[in-house]
Structure 1
Amino acid sequence: MPEVEGQYLTVQQLRARLNVSESYIYRRLKPSHPEYIPHKRLPSGDIRFDPSVADNILRQVGEENKVAALDSAVRGGIKMARRRDRSGSLRIKNGSWCVQWTEGKHRPSHVLGRVSDLTKSEARKRMREFMRKKNQSREVAGTSDTPTCFWKRFFYDAEKDELRTELKTKRASTRRDMKSVMKNVWLGRFGGRLLSSMGTAELQLHLDSMTQNHNTAAKYRAYLSTVFTSAIRLGAGLTLNPARFIKLPPEQPEQDYFMPSPEQVVAILEKLSKPVHKMGWRLVLWMGDRRGELRGLRWSSIYWEHDAILIRESVWEGQSSLPKTKKGYRKILLTAEQMEILRRYKEENFPDAQPQDWVLPGRRGRPMAMGWFMDKYVKPIAEKLGIPSIHWHAFRHLNNSIMLDEGVDVKTRMDRMGHVSDRVNMIYSHSADATQRKAAQAVWEKLKSAQARVQTEENTASLKVAGKVAKGSREEIGDELSY
């Protein structure tokens, strides 16, 4: 035993080497603690540690956990959340026993029961039980993390350009936007803070200083909320998502949206020369697909016997994924004439195409680059025809608006467009002037007929009143003659 005592460190020696408190060490002696410290317990009850324990702890902590923030305690490179168990205070409010406790700058409360039903000792017992559960649900001391470290470990490591688990599940376009927003909006301002120290008020002020656009602010909030939600789920020292309570700026009135007419898009089609360009143009006009879904079309997605195309893949920035929404995985029916044009396109240009080949092939075995096609071919033609500010998304609006003008119900339009809700579909709906005039005429005729009925009823009532008055006058004259 003297050999063991000489080779191993005591609690006091380990505390001095790590430059932490003894309570910090004792809390980590439980095997259930996420930062459990291996140790030996002697028959005398003393606790001993292997000398390599201190080196391992300091090595694991590393530079990532050296947080120099005012609201965290840094001791020898080991960060500790400045949190202690709260006891709470008992109050009477509106005839009920309540417990209050400190939560940052706030004093939340919880009703324990009516004063008429509980004695003070019973209320204190309930208060202690409630606060015990409340303290257990809070983060364990020492497990709080910073947004920069958490983002690097679970979302994206910029140094290695490596996607982590939480970001791998996102779409390619979402990954790009989320990396940009976190880098330029949130991590630069709050990257060195502890997650547990960030409050809604300061997040609100920072968001207000960055943008007053409703949609942009909603995107910023959503990405930050995703990080906080992951931190709660993964046990990174957080129990509340402060981003959920951020208020967004008011929505702005919708701006005028340019949408080409059917005649204009057909005129562009006539000017295109290459078969793959003409077919790409036709498909986006026929179906109103997103450009990623258009690039993801393979010949195996064409069901000739059913005159249908199955949208099940989207290609964005060279990466293939599922369509944007759950409703995006859908079947789109075409007419027999449209399917015949598509069949002739395949037979004349790609007779040996395999089922997994792209319908709109580009260079080096990839699908056609839609942005390049728009800038290189479509926009120059549109400028010559006097068509301003044309872009791919305008054709989704055009396709949906044509269906609306032709009386197609909203459920069918949602199914073809891949919209989750009818509200989203309404955003893509633009009635033509003729339809608007028809609607205005219908309202006007309905009001005119109602007005005519009211006037007829008033005239009839006036005639009845006049008749009664005339009859009454004749009776009065007869009475006078009788005298």
Structure 2
Amino acid sequence: MIRRYQRGSVRKKNGNYVLRYREDCFTPDGKAERPQKTVILGPVSAFRGKNEARKAADKVMQQVNQVAPRPQASITLGEFWAEHFKPNLVEKMKRNTRSMYEQLWKNHIALAFERVRMRDISGFEIDRFVTTKYKQGYASQTVLHLRSVLSKMFKTAVKWRWLAENPVRDIEAPPTRVKRQQRALSVEEVSLLLDRLKNPVRLIVMIGVTLGLRIGEILGLSVEDFDHGTLHVRRSWCRGHEGGTKNGKDREIPVPPYLGEALEEYRRGRPPSGWLFVGAAGKPLSDRNLIQRHVYPIAGELGIPHFSWHSLRHTFSTLGGNEGTIPAVVMKQLLGHSRLSTTDRYMHDLAGPKREAVEKIENLILFPHKKASGE
């Protein structure tokens, strides 16, 4: 039975007074054990007797009993990753998140802490690790992810009552250092691109700037997802793999008139089911091939600065947010953000404003000289 309080024993050994007590911990297989730990209090000559050595021991034990009220894990971080954290948590994550965790562990965290017991890793050591990575020139986002992975591991160990505290909790995030600023396209840039691009790339860009969908969500659309003026966002397609939406929730996006006509025309003559933007192999098109082979060459000819697929989403949110009359909660629903817990409760009530919002954004981007009212 694990004790919550102990006094320890004091004795002489090799000319020193030593304190011995039991250290509550877990073995790598999750079993509780109580190995003996020895602390040297000092030379016998430094004390006037055993009673004085006992007082010194009591100070040590007071700290032990306060700091470690429950057993600590004797498992190393590497053992925890391989035997518990990876199979029970990482392998259940979405593909992209799982890949990120595995790469950060292999290339960074394991090199520093794999053989160190979790209970021996202090906040100072983690702070030094994070700071070193930042000074080595890694992007702020990468350093932040390293901190997050470590925090998730220790938080899990605390939740399982293997550790008393999470040493990463109070470690501050590094200063933001953006290597390439994400940007929104201007209305003029969008107009120039749409005049030159051909389908399906043209339609993909239109969906991105007028509905704010992620590129993976656009490529994950099926023919059936467009139904009676509404686009059903149910899945994503990324790097050859099908997955769910980013927040795990489906959403319905009202399609404005001009985009709706373009979708109907593109869908006409195609099979009634299957991927909407399908390649020769029967799978969705590659986002990398589309932007590198079709978008960037034309953008270069037009003198449009570098942008990514995600820039289309930034364009949508920037123009929609700055327009001023579209409620922020409507924009969050259209973008598929999940941080506002109350958003779902207003989904049906906001169906009308959402349709007005996408029509306003369509007019702002595709018909800049036309009033948002449609006049």
Partner of 2:267: 346
> Any idea what the Cα deviations from partners look like across 1:119-166, whole Å, max 9, x if unmatched?
xxxxxxxxxxxxxxx64x213xxx62222222222355xxxxxxx331
Alignment of 1:106-185 (within 5 A): 135=69, 137-139=70-72, 144-156=74-86, 164-185=87-108
Give the match's secondary structure for 2:74. coil
Partner of 2:166: 241
Partner of 1:127: none
Alignment of 1:34-53 (within 5 A): 35=31
Cα offset, 1:251, TM superposition? 4.1
Give the match's secondary structure for 1:310. strand
Distance of 1:265 and 1:153 partners within structure 2: 50
Distance of 2:36 and 2:75 partners within structure 1: 12
Task: Specify which of 142, 145, 154 is matched with residue 228 of structure 1.
Answer: 154
> Any idea what the Cα deviations from partners look like across 1:372-400, whole Å, max 9, x if unmatched?
10011100000000011121111111111
CA contact (8 A) 2:230 2:255 kept: yes
Alignment of 1:326-475 (within 5 A): 329-348=250-269, 350=270, 352-354=271-273, 357-407=274-324, 408-421=326-339
Distance of 2:56 and 2:218 partners within structure 1: 60
Cα offset, 1:295, TM superposition? 1.7
CA contact (8 A) 2:212 2:335 kept: yes
Q: For the aligned residues, what is the CA RMSD?
A: 3.5
TM-score by length of 1: 0.54
Distance of 1:280 and 1:252 partners within structure 2: 31
Task: Specify which of 101, 108, 117 is matched with residue 63 of structure 2.
Answer: 101
Distance of 2:36 and 2:174 partners within structure 1: 34
The verdict on how the C-alpha distance between 1:154 and 1:297 changes in structure 2, with shifts beyond 3 A counting, is farther
Letter in structure 1 aligned against 2:272: A
State which structure, 1 or 2, has the greater radius of gyration over its C-alpha atoms: 1
Gaps of 5+ in 2: 1-20, 39-54, 341-375
Partner of 1:265: 190
Alignment of 1:236-315 (within 5 A): 237-251=162-176, 257-273=182-198, 275-304=199-228, 307-315=229-237
Q: Percent same amino acid among aligned pairs?
A: 22
> Any idea what the Cα deviations from partners look like across 1:258-302, whole Å, max 9, x if unmatched?
4322222232222223x3223222211221111111121122322
The verdict on how the C-alpha distance between 1:292 and 1:83 changes in structure 2, with shifts beyond 3 A counting, is farther
Give the match's secondary structure for 1:325. coil
Q: Which moved more, 1:357-366 or 1:196-205?
A: 357-366
CA contact (8 A) 1:88 1:101 kept: no
The verdict on how the C-alpha distance between 1:312 and 1:251 changes in structure 2, with shifts beyond 3 A counting, is same
Give the match's secondary structure for 1:211. helix
Cα offset, 1:247, TM superposition? 1.9
CA contact (8 A) 1:314 1:322 kept: yes
Give the match's secondary structure for 1:388. coil
> How many correspondences in the alignment?
296
Gaps of 5+ in 1: 1-22, 37-78, 92-98, 109-133, 157-163, 423-483
Structure ranking higher on relative contact order (CA contacts 8 Å, 6+ apart): 2
CA contact (8 A) 1:144 1:238 kept: no
> Any idea what the Cα deviations from partners look like across 1:294-324, whole Å, max 9, x if unmatched?
12112232222xx111222122223322222
Distance of 2:97 and 2:142 partners within structure 1: 14
Cα offset, 1:234, TM superposition? 4.6
CA contact (8 A) 2:184 2:318 kept: no
